[in-house]
Structure 1
Amino acid sequence: MSSDRGLPPPDFGLRLSSRVHACDGGRTLMGGGRVVRLSAPAATLVEGLPGRVGPDPAASRLARLLLDLGVADPWWEEPAGADVAVDDVTVVVPTQDRAAGVAQLLASLPSAVPVIVVDDGSADPAALELVCRRYGARVVRHGHNRGPAAARNTGLRAVQTPYVAFCDSDVVPQPGWLATLRRHLDDPSVALVGPRVLGRAATPGDGWLDRYEQARSSLDLGPLPARVALHGEVSYLPSAVLVARAAALGDGFDESMRCGEDVDLVWRLLSHEWGVRYEPAAVVRHDHRTSLGAWLGRKAFYGTSAAPLAARHPGAVAPVVATPWTATVTVALLAQRRWSVPVAGVALALVTCSTARRLKSSNRPTRAAAVLVLEGTVAAGWQGASALIRHYWPVVALASVRSGRVRRAVLVAGVVEGVLDWRRVQPELDLPRYVVAHRLDDLAYGAGLWLGAVRARSARSLMPLFKGWRPRSVR
């Protein structure tokens, strides 16, 4: 665990995650398929949250445990302050032929922060040089295009500060982003932190794709902070903007990867027991594609990264992560037989009873078990719908030609998931066009996923992951 790298400092604060339920008078914490049982002294400390860790070694150890388990998030009494006060971070900008975008980015950065712009083989390097001179940024040039991973690594090797911020040239950070992200690195176990990446701010002339991306950007990981973990609520960070502890990055990004190198870096850090955080209080705006062809191409491009990631991190990119009971419930309902509902009901009842026995020390073990099973059922429903209409749609499309049941399942999944997602994100876009855009998003990503598997001559990125299920219990 990352706790081996050190305890949080005394002035570091924390609060319980909004995804966690406190039960049994605060003695039991539940959420995300995890159960944490607290001693009476620990429960007393948790009851005082949010608050600072303080100098007590026991409180520091408890804070480390709660943060590493993902049941608590960092917290501070005071706002992060101004970005200009940050004096130990260097910004690295990889780019190619985007002088206008670099100018917009540099204008948004604090003037005192050192910036290294890596020109990755631009056809017009003079335009970029002119912009960088205007803002006092240093330029390092590649003679030919080597890819964003290599460009970031070139910048990383030139960094002389203890921390580095990678910023793509198609983003505009919003005020406060740097100070908000930087203070996460006061925790000695954290190597990397990323902000919330939103689409461009709305304007009166925006089209339906703009409205969709503003509400449902592929890079937007949601409004809640999180510890990044494999198969967790947040499992990766996009490289649009990342702030890191330079010494923790080693050789940096994998230069053989043209897509997914950011996810690979995050997962390698996790495998070395570094902490990685997602902080949505820091916001950057991303300049997304606006034409339909370019937009679909980008979504497919993201999908192609799954195959090389699956080769490097087996099981990490599984489209479906199933347990015996979630698989039983999903298959039973998809079968659409007379026995489907009874079988699903029996599976849910059995797992609830089994979980309640494991939680017998709780004051209300059956209720606690029901909450955990309900969370798992909802997650399995979302995952099953996504598998049908996003990851496995080429196979499902072929099957639907012969099977009315498959057609019904696809129709229900496509419409119901689209409506629920529209209600969840509340976009400034009417329901029909949102659902169409959402389904096109899924089709393009799924096409890229299968294309990547064919290129790699490997089905690893398409294979589901099966594992046993029981709430992870920590005392």
Structure 2
Amino acid sequence: MTASLAAGLPDGFEVSIRADVRCLGDGRVLVGGSPLRAIRLTEGAVELMDRGRLRVVDRRSGVLAQRLLDANVADPVLATMTPTDSITVVIPVRDRPEQLDHALAALHPLPTLVVDDGSTDPEAVAEVVARHGARLVPLRVNVGPAGARNAGLATVTSPYVAFVDSDVEVTAEGLMRLARHFEDPRVALVGPRVVSVARSVQPRWHERYDEHTSSLDLGGRACSVRPGAAVGWLPSACVVGRVHLLAGGFDDRLRIGEDVDLVWRLVAAGHTVRYDPTVVARHDTRPTLAGWLGRKFAYGTGGAVLAQRHGDHTAVARLSPAMALAAGALLLRRRWSVPVAAACLARSASSLAASLPELVVTPRLVTQLSARGLGWSLRQESSLLLRHWWPAAVVGAIASRSVRRAVVTACVVDVVAAASEGVRDRPVAAFVGRRMDDLAYGGGLWWGSVRARSPWALSVQWASRPGSARRHGRMLTDSHRANATLENMIGGWKG
């Protein structure tokens, strides 16, 4: 057993049931979380709850709190602020003295060290570092951001370290708020919401687009980060870690995807990684279209290496067979599409009704969850056609009218999904931006797969149907029995 698994939550630690979780059956069944699940509480567990909150007072309540957090049906209630001398900030940089100046100005009074990763003008970097009273670690040879962060990590003596890129602005207060998550001894890494900001005097259209749909922005929903959850990784642009749990830090052999690799290694080791969108870091957009598209392409190329290391975690979609067939039928828009989709939806509803606790099964709940699964599947299959598999979709569209029809339908689904998420300004520019984003990322994904001679980065994960919850007995969060997720019946959304 790892140290993180053996350590329990301290007495006085509190968690609160999330606002988006449904409390059914007089609070005895919780439906929500990520992956989506239904959790049935024992009478003893219900008695420990107080108006949606749980305070750790003994081992039993501590185990319950841990399971609610891990299921993403509860969030921690944090209060204690971390002292400034407990965090050291490490900034890897190669040139970019103006951006470094902005980053350092926001971090006062935290102790900060800057790792110069082989700048072409090291004197300019050194002057900025000296002006802000930071410490400089010069590297003569460029080793990449992962290696530069590790070089800084090797000199850190404080219990926590914050990695902040030179083109990111985050306040010292924000980093200290993130460090509050270390009240949970299992937490090894925590990250804020990273939003894009255009610094140009007259931002170009792609910069404005990136401000609304940055690849680094993981949304406004807090999460226990792991593969398959709503937030499956954290960008290394800004993260705070517990030094003794980082185990050597990033893999410096990786120039792309080193942050994803670190998160997944930490989770595999039994540690907890959290995403806290109440803290916001601002990341500079790339001012040129070529630079912006080039970065998207580079992100895509990292998929193949991550697939070789982490297998199904990199799947481009998670689908149940029934919902995949239903969504595929709707995308094709044939006369038989609606009947096929209805039959698949009915099968999914039957599986859900057998898997939910009898206490809360209603036609309305089952229908809502099934419809949610169909919506996930439609969006994921549309994304496959337009983003991850677009080279194959182009070839198919040349030869097949059905594929062309599916691609057009996928574009409509994309527009509707974007509108539902609040992307309504400049709709034409937003649509063009998404297509260019998809072309660049998908092109990188295929290029990386070809170079690796492996298709795994392009694969879909099929959700298998577990046994009925009723056959497995009651679903208890304060016992040793684990709850099967509803996403095994309806699939899961891979954002």
Name 1:224's counterpart in structure 2. 221
Matched, 1:329 2:332: no
Are the aligned partners of 1:355 and 1:471 in contact in 2 as well (CA < 8 Å)?
no
Distance 2:42 2:199 in 1: 49
Name 1:127's counterpart in structure 2. 124
Q: Deviation of residue 395 (structure 1)?
A: 0.5
TM-score (normalised: structure 1)? 0.93
Matched, 1:92 2:90: yes
Distance 1:394 1:472 in 2: 40
1:16-415 to structure 2, matched below 5 A, reads 16-31=17-32, 32-50=35-53, 53-76=55-78, 85-111=83-109, 113-174=110-171, 176-200=173-197, 205-415=202-412
The one of 414, 426, 432 aligned to 2:428? 432
2:30 match: secondary structure: strand
- Superposition misfits of 4+ residues, deviation over 6 angstroms: 201-204
Name 2:493's counterpart in structure 1. none
Q: Deviation of residue 422 (structure 1)?
A: 3.6
Distance 2:22 2:156 in 1: 43
Distance 2:94 2:200 in 1: 27
Q: Deviation of residue 11 (structure 1)?
A: 3.3
Matched, 1:466 2:449: no
Distance 1:191 1:182 in 2: 10
Distance 2:140 2:416 in 1: 49
Q: Deviation of residue 161 (structure 1)?
A: 0.6
1:313 match: secondary structure: helix
Q: Deviation of residue 332 (structure 1)?
A: 2.7
Q: Unmatched 5+ residue regions in structure 1?
A: none
Are the aligned partners of 2:328 and 2:381 in contact in 1 as well (CA < 8 Å)?
no
Name 1:7's counterpart in structure 2. 8
Are the aligned partners of 1:15 and 1:75 in contact in 2 as well (CA < 8 Å)?
yes
Task: Decide whether aligned partners of structure 1 residues 127 and 465 sit closer, same or farther in structure 2, where only a CA change above 3 A counts.
Answer: same
Q: Deviation of residue 8 (structure 1)?
A: 2.0
Task: Decide whether aligned partners of structure 1 residues 130 and 105 sit closer, same or farther in structure 2, where only a CA change above 3 A counts.
Answer: same
Residue type of the alignment partner of 1:273: G
Distance 2:183 2:409 in 1: 47
Residue type of the alignment partner of 1:104: H
Q: Deviations over 1:34-78 (max 9, x none)?
A: 111001232243352246x242433222111111122111123x5
Q: Deviation of residue 366 (structure 1)?
A: 3.8
Task: Decide whether aligned partners of structure 1 residues 212 and 173 sit closer, same or farther in structure 2, where only a CA change above 3 A counts.
Answer: same
Residue type of the alignment partner of 1:125: P
Q: Deviation of residue 357 (structure 1)?
A: 2.1
Distance 1:98 1:471 in 2: 56
Task: Decide whether aligned partners of structure 1 residues 63 and 355 sit closer, same or farther in structure 2, where only a CA change above 3 A counts.
Answer: same
Are the aligned partners of 1:388 and 1:396 in contact in 2 as well (CA < 8 Å)?
yes
Name 2:488's counterpart in structure 1. none
Are the aligned partners of 1:174 and 1:282 in contact in 2 as well (CA < 8 Å)?
no
Distance 2:102 2:467 in 1: 48
1:321 match: secondary structure: strand
Distance 2:51 2:369 in 1: 25
Which range moves more in the overlay, 387-396 or 435-444?
435-444
Task: Decide whether aligned partners of structure 1 residues 363 and 420 sit closer, same or farther in structure 2, where only a CA change above 3 A counts.
Answer: closer
1:375 match: secondary structure: helix
Q: Deviation of residue 221 (structure 1)?
A: 0.2
Q: Deviations over 1:132-177 (max 9, x none)?
A: 1111211112111111111111111110011100000010114631
Q: Deviations over 1:94-137 (max 9, x none)?
A: 111122211111100022x2212111111111111111111121
Distance 1:368 1:415 in 2: 28
Distance 2:390 2:207 in 1: 25
Task: Decide whether aligned partners of structure 1 residues 333 and 419 sit closer, same or farther in structure 2, where only a CA change above 3 A counts.
Answer: closer
Which range moves more in the overlay, 338-347 or 184-193?
338-347
Q: Unmatched 5+ residue regions in structure 2?
A: 470-474, 477-495
Residue type of the alignment partner of 1:87: D
Distance 2:307 2:111 in 1: 36
Distance 1:360 1:99 in 2: 59
Residue type of the alignment partner of 1:61: V
Distance 2:215 2:173 in 1: 23
2:438 match: secondary structure: helix
Task: Decide whether aligned partners of structure 1 residues 28 and 204 sit closer, same or farther in structure 2, where only a CA change above 3 A counts.
Answer: farther
Q: What is the CA RMSD across the aligned residues, in angstroms?
A: 2.1
Q: Deviations over 1:387-428 (max 9, x none)?
A: 11000001101111122221122122113312431441346x
Distance 1:351 1:362 in 2: 19
1:199 match: secondary structure: strand
- Corresponding pairs, count: 468
Are the aligned partners of 2:9 and 2:56 in contact in 1 as well (CA < 8 Å)?
no
Q: Deviations over 1:191-230 (max 9, x none)?
A: 1000000111688833322221111111000011111121
